[in-house]
């Protein structure tokens, strides 16, 4: 059994940080992650820097990263303006995202869900015309910070329409970390017939992220998003905290016999590096506890 990991630390991990890393330092972060064997990295976000200053200089980050053939470098876009910026860079994948609830989507993206879905279809078409991959992420698929519980039927209906755009991948995001394994199984099972690879973007806000990840593995998920050291959060979602930590996830998967192709020791070195860069303890547990059994034994 194998699963692809998409590292989102340089984007989702840093977008909620009080300390802003320079484009050059963020490019170094991407390069360090690429050296661990990760094959997909969400490196930047092409959003308004006035709203998310941590993501300013996305084009500079892309220009400064090393060319590594084994890595698909992705950028987050929320609208056609964002895709137009991405199209000037080396990013090989556009990750379009929108929220499944009206309140959150209007606060986060300034438009209705229907408008975002229509724009997603345009972005997929534009990316494919440019020779790029395109994925769609459905944010707040497991619960909304403003509207509360989200009807899985609504999520699946939007997912089916998103799949019909011709996107290369569809990702269900637990943006505020409220989901449980039963919800994961229901959404992945419900979307299994849409003819598109499925992914999960999980946060560990209420300590269910890793259980949800493994439920996804059991349900046949193709891609898991994660963030080294567990950094992350959404600036527009109250009390949203970090993603599941990539090194903790790799440890879990390796112990369960699931291949990731990632060098765990190298990944722990990157977790230590970003911890030092940000100057405080981060949520990932493996960096504190160490591997088992210890490589020294």
Catalytic site residue from 6, 91, 99, 234: 234
The DSSP string of the chain is: -B-EEEE-IIIIITTT-SSPPPHHHHHHHHHHHHTTT--EEEEEE-S-TTT-GGGTTHHHHHHHS---TT-EEEEEESSHHHHHHHTTSS--EEEEEEESSHHHHHHHHSS-HHHHHHHHHHHHHHHHHTT-EEEEEEETTT-BTTTBS--HHHHHHHHHHHHTTT-SEEEEEETTS---HHHHHHHHHHHGGGSS-EEEEEB-TTS-HHHHHHHHHHTT-SEEEEBGGG----TTSTT--PBPBHHHHHHHHHHTT-B----HHHHHHHHHHHHHHHTS--S-SHHHH--SS-TT-
Q: Which residue has the tokens 């998967």?
A: 253
Query: Can you tell me the distance from the alpha carbon of 209 to that of 169, in angstroms, rounded to the nearest whole number?
Result: 21
Residue pair 40/233 in contact (Cβ under 8 Å)? The answer is no
CB 30 within 8 A of CB 41: yes
Neighbours of 87 (CB within 10 A): 17
Look up residue 266 and give its two tokens: 């190298």
Task: Reply yes or no on whether 234 is catalytic.
Answer: yes
Task: Report, as residue numbers or ranges, the catalytic residues.
Answer: 234
């Amino acid at each position: 059994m194998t699963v692809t990991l998409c590292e989102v630390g340089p984007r989702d991990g840093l977008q909620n940080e009080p300390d802003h890393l320079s484009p050059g330092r963020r490019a170094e972060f991407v390069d360090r992650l690429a050296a661990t064997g990760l094959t997909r990295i969400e490196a930047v976000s092409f959003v308004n820097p006035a709203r998310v200053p941590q993501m300013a200089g996305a084009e500079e980050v892309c220009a400064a990263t090393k060319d590594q053939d084994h890595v698909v470098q992705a950028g987050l876009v929320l609208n056609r303006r964002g895709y137009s910026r991405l199209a000037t860079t080396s990013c090989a994948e556009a990750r379009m995202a929108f929220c499944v609830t009206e309140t959150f989507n209007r606060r986060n993206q300034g438009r209705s869900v229907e408008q975002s879905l229509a724009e997603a279809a345009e972005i997929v078409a534009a990316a494919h015309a440019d020779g790029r991959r395109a994925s769609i992420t459905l944010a707040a698929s497991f619960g909304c910070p403003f509207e509360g519980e989200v009807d899985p039927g609504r999520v699946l209906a939007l997912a089916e329409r998103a799949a019909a755009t011709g996107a290369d991948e569809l990702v269900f995001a637990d943006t505020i970390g409220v989901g449980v394994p039963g919800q994961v199984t229901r959404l992945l099972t419900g979307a299994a017939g849409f003819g598109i690879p499925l992914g999960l973007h999980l946060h560990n806000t209420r300590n269910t992220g890793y259980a949800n990840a493994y439920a996804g593995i059991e349900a046949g998920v193709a891609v898991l998003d994660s963030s080294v050291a567990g950094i992350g959060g959404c600036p527009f979602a109250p009390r949203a905290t970090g993603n599941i930590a990539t090194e903790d996830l790799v440890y879990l998967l390796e112990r369960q016999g699931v291949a990731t192709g990632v060098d765990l020791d190298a990944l722990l070195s990157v977790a230590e590096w970003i911890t030092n860069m940000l100057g405080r303890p981060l949520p990932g547990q493996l960096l504190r506890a160490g591997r088992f059994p210890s490589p020294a034994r």
